[in-house]
């Protein structure tokens, strides 16, 4: 990100719309009966396929990017800096067993097995745009659970104003962590209201299958109105904190990456414009939309905040 950008892509196929719609009908047709519960996903985190999720009104109707691009063109610096490195190297990551540590200002801190962490929360299918700070974008059919539903179970107290997230730190399986590219582990954070916003999800799958390792298995955050780097992968720790938490990219280059990182075409990155983006699989550039097009749902959270200062 800081190190490389604009590296060029191969133009892989976009899933034909009819194939995609059939898949979607299949998944949403099972509402109510035999719904895959997220706890079940975790029990079989590496092998599950054919996951089902309730279709969500929050989804975009845009055509999703082809699966090959979503799973083959990634940023996951724990596995290397090139876009192809995560798909090549992330197979080494063991995702089961997997625990999540919950700490900070809440009534139910503890270390929870991922199955317990997710249990009882039906999967939803959320088709979201992802806009990377580097200037490319995708449309991804996630399977996930609203983060709010998960966080509420731990009963954050009135002192909790932010939520901090951490990725696994395991250099033996994450070769990128053997080099000081970032101050590992990768960290991210949200204000509590952002974390509780109905658009924010913890994703455990995409395209009807559990997350491939390179996309952040077994679970990763998805915050669709923010630049992609806020969507932290392979999460092992969630902390309810009082002060704004540190984040990996803000630590690394504070002038370039702010805490908020809301998609904003009016605020340039110091080294390039953020006004347009290239949708992977297309050649023409599109205009980048304020809040990545999710303004109706999220603009209210930032009323009165100077988004140029708080970039
Ligand atoms: N999470 C971790 N732990 N490490 C990373 O390097 N990269 C971020 C984000 N989450 C990253 C991460 C960036 S820059 C982007 S654009 C998205 O993941 C990419 O998600 P994708 O590869 O699933 O498209």
Q: Are 167 and 234 in contact (CB under 8 A)?
A: yes
pTM of the model: 0.88
Fold adopted by 17-302 = Sulfite Oxidase; Chain A, domain 2 (3.90.420)
What is the phi/psi pair of residue 48, to 5°? Answer: -65, 135
Token pair of 8, please? 């060029």
Distance CA 206, CA 36 (A): 14
Distance CA 60, CA 55 (A): 11
Burial zone of 3 (CB within 10 Å; 0-12 exposed, 13-18 middle, 19+ buried): exposed
Which ligand 1 atom is nearest residue 138's CA?
A: 24
Mutate to test the pocket of ligand 1, among 75, 78, 143 (most ligand atoms within 8 A of CB): 75
Q: Measuring from atom 23 of ligand 1, which residue has the nearest CA?
A: 215
Distance CA 36, CA 208 (A): 11
pLDDT, tens only, 61-91: 999 999 999 999 999 999 999 999 999 999 9
Q: Give the pLDDT score at 231.
A: 98
What is the phi/psi pair of residue 37, to 5°? Answer: -90, 145
Distance CA 12, CA 129 (A): 18
The structural domains of the chain, with segments of one domain joined by +, span: 17-302
Q: Give the pLDDT score at 49.
A: 63
Which residues, including other chains, have CB under 8 Å from residue 247's CB and lie 6 or more apart?
187, 188, 189, 230, 257, 259
Q: Give the pLDDT score at 254.
A: 97
Ligand 1 binding pocket includes 176 (Cβ within 6 Å): no
What is the distance in A from the centroid of ligand 1 to the CA of 228? 6
Distance CA 45, CA 24 (A): 21
Q: What is the pLDDT along the chain (311 residues), one digit of tens a residue?
A: 765 433 333 333 333 343 334 334 333 332 222 234 455 544 444 345 689 899 999 999 999 999 999 999 999 999 999 999 999 999 999 999 999 999 999 999 999 999 999 999 999 999 999 999 999 999 999 999 999 999 999 999 999 999 999 999 999 999 999 999 999 999 999 999 999 999 999 999 999 999 999 999 999 999 999 999 999 999 999 999 999 999 999 999 999 999 999 999 999 999 999 999 999 999 999 999 999 999 999 999 999 999 999 99
Ligand 1 binding pocket includes 167 (Cβ within 6 Å): yes
Buried-exposed string 234-257: b where 16+ CB fall within 10 A, e elsewhere: bbbbbbbbeeebebbbbeeeeeeb
Ligand 1 binding pocket includes 200 (Cβ within 6 Å): no
Ligand 1 binding pocket includes 249 (Cβ within 6 Å): no
What is the distance in A from the centroid of ligand 1 to the CA of 83? 10
Q: Give the pLDDT score at 20.
A: 39
């Amino acid at each position: 990100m800081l190190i490389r950008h604009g590296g060029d892509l191969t133009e892989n196929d976009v899933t034909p719309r009819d194939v995609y719609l059939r898949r979607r009908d299949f998944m949403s047709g099972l509402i109510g009966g035999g719904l895959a519960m997220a706890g079940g996903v975790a029990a079989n985190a590496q092998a599950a396929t054919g996951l089902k999720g309730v279709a969500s009104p929050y989804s975009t109707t845009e055509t999703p990017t082809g699966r090959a691009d979503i799973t083959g063109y990634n940023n996951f610096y724990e596995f290397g800096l090139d876009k192809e490195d995560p798909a090549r190297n992330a197979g080494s990551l063991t995702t089961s067993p997997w625990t999540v540590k919950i700490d900070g200002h809440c009534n139910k801190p503890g270390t929870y097995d991922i199955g317990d962490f997710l249990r009882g929360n039906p999967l939803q299918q959320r088709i979201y745009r992802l806009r990377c700070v580097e200037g490319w974008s995708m449309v991804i059919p996630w399977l996930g659970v609203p983060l709010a539903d998960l966080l509420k179970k731990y009963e954050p107290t009135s002192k909790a104003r932010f939520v901090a997230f951490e990725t696994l730190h395991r250099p033996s399986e994450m070769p990128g962590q053997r080099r000081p590219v970032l101050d590992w582990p990768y960290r991210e954070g949200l204000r509590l209201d952002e974390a509780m916003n109905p658009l924010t999800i913890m994703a455990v799958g995409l395209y009807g299958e559990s997350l491939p390792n390179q996309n952040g298995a077994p679970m990763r955050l998805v915050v669709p109105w923010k630049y992609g780097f806020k969507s932290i992968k392979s999460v092992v720790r969630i902390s309810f904190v009082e002060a704004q938490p540190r984040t990996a990219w803000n630590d690394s280059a504070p002038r370039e990456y702010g805490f908020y990182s809301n998609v904003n075409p009016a605020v340039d990155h110091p080294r390039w414009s953020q006004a347009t983006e290239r949708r992977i699989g297309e050649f023409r550039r599109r205009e980048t939309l304020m809040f990545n097009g999710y303004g109706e749902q999220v603009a209210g959270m930032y009323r009165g905040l100077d988004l140029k200062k708080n970039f």
